[in-house]
Structure 1
Amino acid sequence: MSFLINHVKQAINDKQTNVVIFSATAIALYGYDQGMMSLINTNDSYLATMGLEEESPVVGVIVAVYYLGCAVGAVLFSKLADALGRKKSIFFSLAAASLGNLVMFVAGMGAIGGKTGALAVMLTGRVIMGLGVGGIDAVIPTYSSELSADDSRGKALAQEFQSNIFGLVMAFGINLGVTIALGKENEWAWRIPIIVMQVYPVLLMAFVERLPESPRWFIFNDRQDDAKEALDDIYGDGGKEKFDELLEQHEKEKDEKVGYLDMVTPSHPQFHPTMVTIMCQINQALTGYGAVSVYGPQIFELLGFSVRNSEYLTLGNYTSYFFLMTFAWLLIDALGRRHLLIQGSIILSSCFALLAVFGGLAANSSSLHIPVFVPGIIGTVILFVATGAFGIGWLSTVWLIPTEIFPTTARAQGTAISVIIWGLANFAITFLTPVLFNNLDYFIFLVFAGTNAVAGLWTYFYLPETGGRSFDENQEFFKEAGEQGTWRVSKVGKGEYAKMMYPDPEDPEGPNVDAERVPLLSRLGDQVPSVE
């Protein structure tokens, strides 16, 4: 018992642990929204209040417009993060998310407009909440990575995104519970899940002042004394060495001014990493899991299950998703980013191709004289596997990469661009998915099988391995690529950037070596917390 108490006290007092816990809870806001809307979309009272039919494309617009808000919020709050500091930007992002949630909650309530007014209020709330969540998704990964060690950046962010899935499970579970208790005709079956979300931003806003500000931001703004104090608070005795390292890096970068226009100008040094960032988010959208998360029950209905059983299976899939995310933070710093992404694409393409087969068997079971539950059960197992592959390979990895490949002067803009593309891509996917469901039926799985293959191939050819390298070392890849006139990873630096780097067990103080030279069990063991 004393062992447990001591570790709890250590976690409470450790600033890096506080940052991870805070960041994880903030990231859960995004997951909560996905789980929340998936059953609200089919609530009869909600549809009547908005004046919509369930098949109306406007249902998809209400879901998708949130992502446009995220894109705008990423730019707005990233600028605030550079001007006012990471902490203040996070606070204002949370405030926006809270306000948007309240606006959604009151849509169509009492005298607040008729059906047209309710729809307008709901759309407004979705956009405002999107602004806040976009800010959180842009600033939190930057803030978290700036306070993490080079060999644990992936683990920290993967843990945060595991919390994202907890938010998804929590929202869907609450939604399903109140729907069963109150029925799809009751307005509180959709209003309660919305207002429960207030727990997240309210608690986080109360806690944000306890967090340390980013020492990198202090140094970038010529506040060295504040940076030293923050580093001592975070690293203790290691603060002095870290300060010297950050100061040296700042001296190299301080004269570099990078704007958004620079980052999309082909001749600019940051154009290449910007294109990598953009393609990572496009490829994540192409996996189709934005659609699976929001329209989970409809996916299971394509496999032949009833509406209620589809809802139960969706909750089971999300719960499995949450637990399998543990492998993400165990593997991301042990195997590397490229390995997880490429293997994830292979598994996802295979699973979606099989889902098309078993979805077709389920849809034609009567004419084929086979029990509908047979292809349904097999398809469910495959979908569970695919969800786990996405979570381990693709969920957090693409958010981590832009925090590792840009210099301090462009990191906030880089992560903002990442959120912008994520928002636009998911707007398109969540808007088109209902249309694809209605027109393609189970053939939608073949579309996702193809898009996952495209995502995997692009990753293999063009994405450098950023794991096990410092921020400076990752930027060296882009300098060498420019000098050699190629973006192919295998042709830059004799292919060394396709490899994961790892501390050498025989010389821990020396330079990192190719991870393939370190036994996998040893690498995995390093990711498991010590119990001493």
Structure 2
Amino acid sequence: MSFIRDMFMDKKKEIVLFSSTAIALYGYDQGMMSLVNTNYDYLSTMGIAEEDPLVGIIVSVFYIGCAVGSVLASLLADKAGRKPSIFVCLAVTALGNLLMFISGLGYQKGAMTIMFFGRVIMGLGAGGIDSVIPVYSSELNEEGGRGKAMAQEFQANIFGLNMAFAINLAVTNALGKGNQWAWRIPIICMQIYPVLLLSFIYRLPETPRWFVSHDRKEDAKAALADIYGEDEAKGKLEDLVKASEEESASSVGYSDMIFPSGNSFHPTMVTVMGQVNQALTGYGAISVYGPQIFELLGFGTSTSEFLTQGNYVSYFCLMTLAWILIDRVGRRILMISGAAALTVSFLILTVFAGLASNSEKLNIPNLAVSVPGTVVLYIATGMFGIGWLSQIWVIPTEIFPSTSRAQGAAISVVIWGLANFAVTLLTPIGFNNLKYWLFLVFAVTNLFAMWWTWIYSPETGGRSFEDNQRFFEDAKESGTWSVRKVDNGEYSHMPRSEKEDGANGESAPLLGNR
């Protein structure tokens, strides 16, 4: 019985499970819209053609909602607490999803308007969740690799993507592309996530760090005891109070983060460019428009859909390597290696897709190019997961002080939303006009992402919060943002020594900034 209690009643495990399930919301949306976009009844109900740019606009307005929702949620998280903010975001997500489900149900006039509203409202909630959950998780993570915890949560994101696409694929094959329930069922099934999380959130604590920052020490002590037990609570509370006193004199606002003259402009730009470069890897296109990409490689519609599901399953499995490597190899080297691998992959895909499109003229068997092209696409997807998926989310939680961590996470989601809005909006237009040459565009954008990361992105793994913030102070004194020119390039790699002052910086308790 004690084993079962440890597995299912341990508060730290409950926090990780809750955070992972919340992050899976976004993955579900990606998998859900992939086949909704090609459902004949959906297109007819919305009054659009399959190659109409409105297909991409309906998908992409979700990210505009995410951008706005992240800012609103971060303000609420700082004012009312992390838990209330998460609760509101989950409720808003559920409402937006319900509006999507009922759009055109028994009527057609105004269906697209309701779908637009549903996408935006759901984005407001999902963006808030993606903004607050990483902060909530990091502030409650006692010790061990921060990157590993985040990578595991984003592996759950891929689980959500797999779940949505599998449901979509099953009902599409059972009911056909002309049946309205083949696209409505996958949409309403998403309600499982917010309803489950809303029914479970009461069991979780507010973060002790937030309590201390609002001078609620007794509540902070009770939360610490709930997570770590009475014996450890007192010592951790003292660490939190000390850290809060040290940071209280250095309040940071959005103006300090978004204007070049602000003290936190440099870490903000690292955050912004991390999200921009992740969008430039092109994976947003692959995840949302996977079936269309396999069709470019020469496969039929049905085969393309099953291959997309296989790609997502492979993606989920390969994400295991992400949380194994991220705290051993570091964030920076994985991002650089991932961008390099994606550059090569997209160059190869350009060639294979070009051959597939001209196979009859060149008298080349379809399978001779479509099969190796599929293998390359599977590898590219895995390399994105290993190199980019979780890194750009964990870095903002490591480079900002507690006084601006929620704002930093919000800015990260805003840029993520705007960048993905652009990518998902332009991708169908690119497919319709550039065809396989779109892969060459992604090869170039990955090359840029690799270059920028090599020059300007510091290695934040293996270091305490204070060490990472010290990099930006030293960069200011050195008058350069080039990582290899600050502190003799010390931040271009993981720390050479695992221990500093008798403790591993990466493993130091997140609740206790020293």
- When the two structures are superposed, what TM-score results if normalisation uses the length of structure 1? 0.93
Contact 2:458 2:492 in 1 (8 A): yes
The amino acid of 1:136's aligned partner reads: I
Question: Which of residues 111, 123, 130 is equivalent to 2:123?
Answer: 130
Residues in 1 aligned to 2:90 and 2:338: alpha-carbon distance in whole angstroms: 32
Higher relative contact order (Cα pairs below 8 Å, separated by 6+ residues) = 2
Equivalent residue, structure 1, for 2:57? 61
Alignment of 1:268 onto 2:268: no
Q: Secondary structure in 2 aligned to 1:334? A: coil
Alpha-carbon deviation of 1:259?
A: 2.0
Q: Which amino acid aligns with 2:135?
A: T
Match of 2:502 in 1: 510
**What are the within-5 Å matches in structure 2 for residues 282-301 of structure 1?**
282-301=276-295
| Aligned equivalent of 2:199, options 191, 195, 206 | 206
1:313 is aligned with what amino acid? L
Count the aligned residue pairs: 506
Q: Which amino acid aligns with 1:211?
A: L
- 2:242 is matched with which residue: 240, 248, 254? 248
Distance in 2, matches of 1:150 and 1:397, equals: 18
CA distance, structure 1, for counterparts of residue 455 and residue 170 of structure 2: 46
AA aligned to 1:263 is: M
Q: 2:48 pairs with 52, 55, 61, which one?
A: 52
The answer to whether the aligner puts 1:485 opposite 2:476 as a matched pair is no
Q: Which residue of 1 aligns with 2:511?
A: none
Question: Contact 1:73/1:133 (CA < 8 Å) preserved in 2?
Answer: yes
Q: Are positions 1:148 and 2:137 aligned together?
A: no
Counterpart position of 1:302? 296
Q: Report the Cα distance in structure 1 between the residues aligned to 2:2 and 2:385, rounded to whole angstroms.
A: 32
Give 1:512 deviation, angstroms.
Answer: 4.3
User: What is the correspondence of 1:182-193 to structure 2 with a 5 Å cutoff?
Assistant: 182-193=175-186
**Structure 2 contact 255–262 (Cα < 8 Å) conserved:** no
Aligned to 2:190: 197
Give the drift of 1:494: 1.6
- The whole-number CA distance in structure 2 between the counterparts of 1:267 and 1:55 is 45
TM-aligned CA deviation for residue 105 of structure 1? 0.3
Determine if the alignment matches structure 1 residue 430 to structure 2 residue 424: yes
Structure 1 residue 452 displacement after superposition: 0.7
The letter of the residue matching 2:36 is I
Counterpart-to-counterpart distance in 2, 1:299 and 1:502: 43
Specify which of 351, 370, 379 is matched with residue 376 of structure 1. 370
Amino acid at match of 1:461: I
Distance in 2 (CA, whole Å) between partners of 1:225 and 1:293 is 46
Equivalent in the alignment of 1:466: 460
- Cα distance in 2 for residues equivalent to 1:269 and 1:174: 48
Cα distance, 1:307–1:455 mapped onto 2, change above 3 Å: same
Equivalent in the alignment of 1:81: 77
In 2: Cα distance, 1:52 partner to 1:355 partner: 30
The alignment partner of 1:333 has SS state of: coil
Q: How does 1:163-174 map to 2 (within 5 A)?
A: 163-174=156-167
| Aligned pairs (5 A) from 1:12-27 | 12-27=8-23
Structure 2 Cα separation of the partners of residues 148 and 468 of structure 1: 15
- Given the two structures, how large is their TM-score scaled by the length of structure 2? 0.96
**Alpha-carbon distance, 1:7 to partner:** 4.3
Q: CA offset at residue 261 of structure 1? A: 2.1
Deviations 1:225-253 (A, max 9, x none): 11122122222333333322222221111
Cα separation, 2, equivalents of 1:503 and 1:307: 53
Match status 1:392 vs 2:386: yes
Q: Which moved more, 1:171-180 or 1:258-267?
A: 258-267
1:227 matched to 2:223: no
Give unpaired runs (5+ residues) of structure 1.
516-522, 524-532
CA deviation map 1:486-521 (0-9, x unaligned):
1111111121111213774xx7972549x9xxxxxx
Q: 1:239 to 1:456 in 2, by over 3 A?
A: farther
The match for 1:110 among 106, 109, 114 is 106
| Aligned amino acid, residue 134 of structure 1 | G
Q: Distance in 1 between matches of 2:427 and 2:25?
A: 22
Q: Which moved more, 1:372-381 or 1:360-369?
A: 360-369
Letter in 2 for 1:388: G
Report the 3-state secondary structure (helix = DSSP H, G, I; strand = E; otherwise coil) of the residue aligned with 1:73. helix
Q: Residue type matched to 1:139 in 2?
A: V
Identity of matched residues, %: 62
Is the CA contact (8 Å cut-off) linking 1:297 and 1:311 kept in structure 2? yes
Whole-angstrom CA distance in 2 between matches of 1:451 and 1:487 = 21
Unaligned runs of 5+ in 2: 508-514
**Code of the aligned partner of 2:177:** K
